[in-house]
Structure formats: structure tokens, C-alpha cells
Chain A
Amino acid sequence: MAEKGNTNMEHLGGVVRLREEHQKVVQDCESRIQHWKKVLADYEALDDRLRTLPDQLCYDIMVPFGPLAFMPGKLVHTNEVTVLLGDNWFAKCSAKQAQKIVKHRMKHVGSQLDDVTKIMKNFEARVGFAKDLESMSANTGNYVDIREEVGNNDSPATKGKQRIAHKPNSKPKMDVVFGLKEEDEGESGDTGSRKGVMTEEELWARLDELERLEELQDEQDRLSDNADMNGEDTSSSSSEEEEEEEEEKEADAALPVNGLSLKPSRSSVPHSTQPLTGRKEEDYEEEDGSCLPTIFFSHTVEPKKVRINTGKNTTLKFSERKEQKEHSKRKKKNGHSNGHSHHELHKITTPADIYRLFVDMKNGEPIPRKSILKSRSRENSVCSDTSESSAADFEERRMIGRSFSHDEMTHSDTSDGITEEDSPTVMPLQTPSRFEAFSGTVVEKDPMPTAVPHLTIVPPALPTILERKQEEVAPDVPLPEQAPKRVSKFKAARLQQK
């Protein structure tokens, strides 16, 4: 900031000097113009004299003798004039010829005068411009510099293709998630394995519920929408994810911190959180005296969400408030039955859940992805952990997962919720109570209004591997009720075939 102020001062000095130089030139031009005007006046007087001189043969005049004396005398040969032509050349001419010469000279003087006037006007314009420049750099006047940064910030966050910011109630996210699975499963697509489809259905049902929740919360959020938050959050996604492992409060702090790192300069877009506004104001005050008031634009119009990179070309959207709400909701419902743990399996509440859910499907077996989470969170998650201690656990989990998926195959959605009560309940007993590192929820944003769009999308196999988490066992009561309503066309096809 100080450096910027210094350069501004230099600019200011330079501009002042420029203006002064221009003004000097202008003054010089003015003096020259005066000179030429005088010359012109002299020639005009001379012209008059030459005109009247031959009227008389001789004139009685007082002849000057030296500087102080005069003598009476006569002026004769009034028509004979010796003209100085220039460069020590003289010519004897008649009065009329002399007049001609005088006229010719006057023409020359006039052209000189025109040139000088032109120069003066030119420099006067320059002086005016320099004055404006001076006032600009001195921050006086009403000049505001508007700058818009070309958004290269987004590229690290959204690896791969650029995505358009859809309206909240459009259907962007499913496609993205869909795309991910397609890549992973290698074109399983519509005609994927039945087993894979079955397991996905559960997941998609779960996702639908989440989406509906998100919609509700979206509307609440939109009331206090902050366009800029998302712009700041997008590029801080990965770091944000890691931070959220710690504590929810830290996430709050992380957000403004990331915002700071991203946009140290002033922004005219209002921020929601307190620390951000404080920072913005601070910046404003800081910059006021030193440089031109600058407005920085950013064209992110998405609602306040955070994109979390979950691997290949997908991002989840995270909303702090939703996370808090869901967390509080969950805590309230913790006392309820464990009957709907099925849906809990699909619920993403921690970054570890992401690794649980988004798992590569190769050769019919779920192979989890390499986790970027810290080892503490990996204890109970099913990420591709290279440590030997978790290898055995992993095997165990995979077995359970497979048995679970087998169960899913044979039951309809409605019954699944009941049968799975048993298997997951086994799990919680086995697992120790886990310290919830990330107490917030990561909700996959899917702002779609009705169930119809879901059904049309066919996700490739997205098997879930059970995770030992009994804190999140408490389900949402309405969720299983909604699930049976939705039947994807693959399930329907399968049912028909049965």
C-alpha cells in the first residue's frame, strides 16, 4: 500500500512538472505572439507613411541630432527609399515599390504569427490535460478508477471444464456427479450392472432427500444472498475442506481468512460475515489517502456456497448455514430410532463421508479413492489408506459393504430401510465412539424442484461402503417415506422383469 502511495506521489510530481513545462511553453508562445504583433503594427505604420510621403516634394521637419537635440530641416526626395532587404543587402526603390516589399514582409510576419498561435493552442490543451491528470493522481475531483480482475482464480478450483453458474432451481449438479461416475465406471451408463444400479438407487434416493432439504434452505439463504461469498469460497475449497475437519467454528474463521487471502483489496460487493466487512472497511480507509478510489468487480453471481473438490472433476457445494442447521437437526433427532440408518449411510456429514460415498467401482468391487484427509479421520473411513493398521479394517468393511449391497438387491426400497436396520446396527456396536472431527454437514447441493429430474438421470455405480458412525444413526423421519415414492426407471425395469 505504501509503495502504491509512493508511486502515486512520484506520478504526481511528474505530472506537476509536466504541467509546469507545458505552461512554460505556452508563456513563451505568448511572448512571441506579442513580438510578432508589434512587428506587424510597425509595418502597417510604415505602410501608411510610405503612402503619404510622396504627396509632397519636401517636408519641413525637426531633424534629430543625437539623442537630445533636434534641428529644423527638410525632407527631400520623398519618393526615393533605400530598403534594407536583409543580410546587408540594400535596394533603392520608389515609395510604391517599397510598399510592395513591406506588404510582402507583412505576409511573412502574419504566417509566423499563425504558426506561433497554433503552437500555443496545442500546448494549452496539453496543459489542461496535465491538470486533469494531476487532479486524478492527487485524488481530488470525482475520478474513480474501476478495475475488474480477470478471473484466473477460478481455474484452480474448477479443474477441467468451466461450468456455467445455473440458477438455483435448475439442474446442474446431478450432471456433474453423473459425469464423475461415468468416468470412473467406464461407461456403465444406462445399461450398467444390475447390482451397481441397485446400490445406486439407494444413494440417489438419499441424494434426493438432501436436495429437497437444500432447496428449503436455499430459499432461506436467498433472502440474505451474498454473491461475493461464493466467488471467494470457490478457490478456497480444498483448504476449506481440510480446515473443516477441525471444528465448525474454525470453518467460520477459515472462510474470512480465505477471503482475505483471495481479495486483499477493496471490494464494493457487500459481505455477509463480520470479519469480512471489517476487513473491507479497513482496506477502504487504508487506501483512501494514497491512491485513487478503486472498485474491484468480480462476476460471481452464485449463491453463497463452497465448492469442495472431491476428486476428479466434481465438486460438492457446501453451505455453512445448511451445515449448522442440519447438524442441529441431527442432534435433535439423535434420540430417534436407528431404523433409518440406511439413509444415514448416504448422508454426507464429514469429508470422510465423501470418500465413503464416492468410490470407484472397478470389477464390481468398490475401490476407494486416495484420501487427502488426515489420518485421524481415516480411522473410521474407507479411503484407500496405505497404512497397514487400517488394511484389516478395510477388508472387514468391504465384506460388510458387499453383504449390504447384496441385501439391497433382494429387497425393494421400502423394505430396505427395515432390513438394513439390522446390519448397520451391528456395525455401530463394533465401532468405538468416534470423535466427530467435522461436526458440520456437507450437503450435496442439488437444487431441483421435483423428483422427475432425478429419475431421468442414471448414475453409474456409486456403491457405498458402510462406515462405522453411530452418531449419525438418527435418521430423518420423513426420508424413508419419500424414498418409496421415487422409482428410477432402472429399478422399475428391474421390477418389471422380476
Chain B
Amino acid sequence: MAEAIQKKLKAEVEKYTQTQKDVSKSVSARQKLETQMAENNIVKEELDLLDSSNTVFKLIGPVLVKQDLDEAKATVAKRLEYINGEIQRYETLLKDYHKKSEQQREVLTSLQQDLQKAQGLTPGKIWLTRLQRHKSGKSGESH
């Protein structure tokens, strides 16, 4: 019985570690998005400072491509929205992973307790059966 519990415990531990990895991944992704958001904000503000006399370029690979100022502004705005959406998504994901990990933690603790009980019981059980046998033997003799 204790072995079964141990197997269960191992499986649960693996699940838990997986969930923890997911959590950390989503956290790091969210951090990246945060920096991008900050950068794009600065770009937007600086584009606002410029006027149409300045030509705006976009670096695509090794090439600097000319862009219209308004287009550039629109593009940057869109990118910013996209980034915000991504952040929201990752936040919900993070919450889910967190809940999952909590549940799994509880399961783990309960399993651990069961294991302890089982382990604690097994030597006692043997004694108990022996005692019972002894008693029954005695009573049998007296009768």
C-alpha cells in the first residue's frame, strides 16, 4: 500500500514541477513584453516630437526602408496594442498556472501524509496481528 502511495506521489511531483516550469516561462515572457511596451511608448512619444520634414526609416534586416511619419505612428500604435493584448493573455495564463500549482501542492501534502501513515502503520500492523493471534490462542486454550 505504501508503494502505491509512493508511485502516486512521484507522479504528482512531476506534474507539480511541470506546472512550476510553465509558471516561470509565462513570467519571463511577460517581462519581455513589458520591456517592449516601454520601448514602443518611447518611440511613440519621440515620433510625436518629430514633424513631416524628417524622414522615418524602418530597419528590416540589413535594409533601412523609408516610412511615412503617419504610417510609422500608426504602426507603432498598433504594435503597442498588440503588446498589451499579449500581456493580458500571459497574465491569465499565469493565474491559471498558479492555481494549478496550488492544487497540486495540496494533493502532494495529502499524499505525503497518507504515505507517512501507511509507513507508520505497517510495522504496527504486524504487531497487532501477532497480538491478536496470541490472544485468540490464549482464549482457545482457556476454553
Contacts and interface: CB of A to CB of B under 8 A. Distances in A.
A199 B54 CA distance: 121
Contacts of B72: 89
B79 A87 contact: yes
Contact of A89 (B36, B43, B45, B49): B43
A104 interface: yes
Given A97-B49, A100-B49, A86 B43 contact: yes
Interface string B62-104: 0010010000100010010000000000000000000000000
A50 to B, nearest CB: 14
Chain B at the A interface: mostly helix, strand, loop or mixed? helix
B47 A91 contact: yes
Nearest to B45: A104
Most buried by A among B49, B54, B55: B54
Contact of A92 (B43, B57, B60, B79): B57
A85 B43 contact: yes
A105 B45 CA distance: 10
A85 B64 contact: no
A108 B43 CA distance: 12
Contact of B46 (A92, A94, A101): A101
B56 interface: yes
A83 B67 CA distance: 14
A101 B44 CA distance: 11
Nearest to B42: A86
Nearest to B79: A87
B112 interface: no
Chain A at the B interface: mostly helix, strand, loop or mixed? strand
Interface in A68-87: 82-83, 85-87
A186 B135 CA distance: 61
B77 to A, nearest CB: 12
B61 to A, nearest CB: 10
A88 B42 contact: no
Contacts of A93: 50, 54
Contact of A91 (B45, B50, B60): B50
Contacts of A108: 42
B14 to A, nearest CB: 29
B26 interface: no
B1 to A, nearest CB: 34
B65 to A, nearest CB: 10
Nearest to B39: A86
A385 to B, nearest CB: 44
Contacts of B40: 86-87
A105 B54 CA distance: 18
A370 to B, nearest CB: 44
Contacts of A104: 42, 45-46, 49
Given A85-B47, A97-B50, A100-B49, A90 B58 contact: yes
Given A104-B42, A104-B45, 19 more contacts: A82-B57, A86-B42, A86-B43, A87-B36, A87-B43, A88-B58, A88-B59, A88-B60, A89-B56, A89-B59, A90-B56, A90-B59, A91-B46, A91-B47, A92-B55, A92-B56, A93-B50, A105-B46, A108-B42
Interface of B: 36, 39-40, 42-43, 45-47, 49-50, 54-60, 64, 67, 72, 76, 79
16 contacts: A83-B46, A85-B43, A85-B56, A87-B36, A87-B40, A88-B60, A89-B56, A89-B57, A90-B58, A90-B59, A90-B64, A91-B47, A91-B50, A92-B57, A100-B49, A105-B42
